[in-house]
Amino acid sequence: MYGFDSYVAIGDSFTEGLNDDLPDGTFRGWADRLAEILAEGRPDFQYANLALRGKMLDEILEEQLPIALEVKPDLVTLCAGGNDIIVPGADVDAVAARLEAGVAKLREAGIPVLMFNGPDTKYLSVMHVLRGKVGIYNAHLWAIAARHGAKMVDMWAMDPLHDRRAWSDDRLHFTPEAHRRIALRAAEVIGVPVADDWREPWPASEEPSTWITSRRSDLEWTKAHLLPWIRRQLKGESMGDGLSPKRPALAPLLPLEQIDPAAVALPADPLRAAREIHHHAS
């Protein structure tokens, strides 16, 4: 209806949908929610979500981008590089340059691209130290979008994301309500009308936390999330090791419980499988 009959989402845990939990233990997330808005019940609408938690930029460009280029959907959403820039000593400029190469390939293929910049971490205890890196990366992303004619979802400027209730306990991923608002904002950027407003204020907050409760929360977060992340970095491991994308190829947008797992299991050669699916659909 709005010029989008197919949509491929590529990226990392943000696009996979952590921590917007579904009853079966999988994740919904803003990308699924955006696909639902675009589909509006149309059985011919096709959607793939190749994103996977823990993926670094080069992995996304090597594993996911070729599939998107092969099937040439009406829309690709791209949010990547966040896992790269949070690593101590990361060269943010170099990360941005590699991302731009991927955006250029998509645009040269005539594929509309919707990008996402990083949210402002000023309001997150401990994580606010990343604010400078995120700000520099965002400046690059805006320039990349302008140079290649991509559109941008400006999460840095989304005031609702400045509320602590937008963030999961890990302080890296969003809550279901935040995912809902991000999907609405994304739809707005690409010109798709929606009934709800992502700007709607949060309900009145509960009692503000005290210094003691904040420090206790920091300690719990360090034990539950920061230390395991450091251990994974030292071992060269990823949260996504051994996992497959939840929607590895373009397919009708059906509720996850109606999809045959055997039909969507990640094949040994995802690019070849995507090519075959695209060929049979043409």
User: What pLDDT, in 10s, does the model give residues 213-251?
Assistant: 555 555 564 555 445 545 666 667 666 667 899 999 999
pLDDT at 193 over 60: yes
What tokens were used for 133?
Answer: 């890196």
Nearest CA to 146 out of 113, 110, 176, 177 is that of 113
Residues 61-82 have a mean pLDDT of: 97
Percent of the chain scored above 70 by pLDDT? 76
Q: Please, what is the average pLDDT of the chain?
A: 84
pLDDT at 88 over 70: yes
**Confidence tier at 94 by pLDDT (50, 70, 90):** very high
Partners of 7 in beta bridges: 47, 75
- The residue that leads in pLDDT, 258 or 63, is 63
Q: How far apart are CA 20 and CA 10, in angstroms?
A: 17
Residues 72-89 have a mean pLDDT of: 94
